Amino acid sequence: MEDKTEREKDTIILGVIGSDCHSVGNKILELFFTAEGFKVVNLGVMVSQQEFVDAAIETNAKAILVSSLYGHGEIDCQGFRDLCIEKGLDPIILYAGGNLVVGKTPFSVVEAKFKKMGFDRVFPPDVDLKKVAELLRQDIQEKFGSDSREAKLDKSIQAKESL
């Protein structure tokens, strides 16, 4: 694993959206992404869009990973990207994963639906988490690459000065 200090780690927001109380996968995602070197802010289950966005603003997060297991994901996620833009979170990376719609639907259909809603990536329930972490690192690099390096540089200079 990359050895990063707490300060250098990229912050990501985790949570299960809407009235969904499936908590097992959420606890495992937290452990997994923490082990992968992210700074994880886990909002737990039954999280509203507003709570996701507020947490992202507060922690300067680079990505929001939305889970939904109970089938209402389609209703719960509508307008998520718009809310992010409205709150000035334009570049934030949005992922969605789980059993996102009611009933057995081909994944390609689900994926298209959620991408149209503004999600950058969509994952089925059996996705290999290692792959997700890899994609997430790539996406963060692409969207925030130079910015975040500069920001880190600034911080490290400040840190040195304060010494």
Partner 1 sequence: MIKNEKIDLKEFLEIRKEVLQTWPTGQKVSLDEAIRFHRTIPEERRFAWVMKKAREKRQTLLQPRAGVALIDDHIKLLRYLETEGQADLLPTTIDAYTRQNRYEEAEKGIEKSKQAGTSMLNGFPAVNYGVEGCRRVVENVTKPLQVRHGTPDARLLAEITLAAGFTSFEGGGISYNIPYAKRVPVEKSLQDWQYVDRLVGFYEENGIRINREPFGPLTGTLVPPCISIAVGIIEGLLALKQGVKSITLGYGQGGNIIQDVAAITALRELAEEYFRQEGYDDFELTTVFHQWMGGFPEDEAKAFSVIALGAIVAKFSGAEKVIVKSPHEAMGIPTKEANAQGLRATRQAINMVEDQVIFKPEDLRSEVDLIKQEVRCLMNKVYELGKGDVAVGTVAAFEAGVLDIPFAPSIYNHGKIIPMRDNEGFIRIFNKGNLPLSEEIMAYHRQRLMERARAEGRTISFEMVTDDIYAISKGRLVGRPR
Write each residue from 35 to 74 as x if it is in contact with partner 1 (CB under 8 A), else as -, in one continuous string. ---------xxx----------------------xxxx-x
- CA 139/CA 93 separation, integer angstroms: 8
Number of Cβ within 10 Å of residue 33's Cβ equals: 22
Residue listed under structure tokens 């039954």: 46
* Shortest Å, Cβ 69 to partner 1: 8
| Burial of 98: CB neighbours in 10 Å, binned 0-12, 13-18, 19+ | buried
Residue 23 touching partner 1 (CB under 8 A)? yes
Chain mean position to CA 73: 15
- CA 38/CA 124 separation, integer angstroms: 22
Counting residues that bind partner 1 (by CB under 8 A) gives: 27
- CA 91/CA 99 separation, integer angstroms: 26
Is 22 one of the annotated active-site residues of the chain?
Answer: yes
* Shortest Å, Cβ 50 to partner 1: 14
Residues 115-154 binding partner 1 (CB under 8 A) are: 125-126
Residues 75-104 binding partner 1 (CB under 8 A) are: 75, 99, 101-104
Is 76 one of the annotated active-site residues of the chain?
Answer: no
Q: What tokens appear for 29 in the block?
A: 């995602």
- Check 3, 10, 22, 139 and give the catalytic one: 22
Choices 13-21, 81-89, 133-141, 152-160 (CB under 8 A): range interacting with partner 1: 13-21
- CA 93/CA 87 separation, integer angstroms: 14
Comparing CB distances to partner 1, the nearer of 81 and 113 is 113
Catalytic residues: 20, 22
Q: Which residues bind partner 1 (CB under 8 A)?
A: 18-24, 26-28, 31, 44-46, 69-72, 74-75, 99, 101-104, 125-126
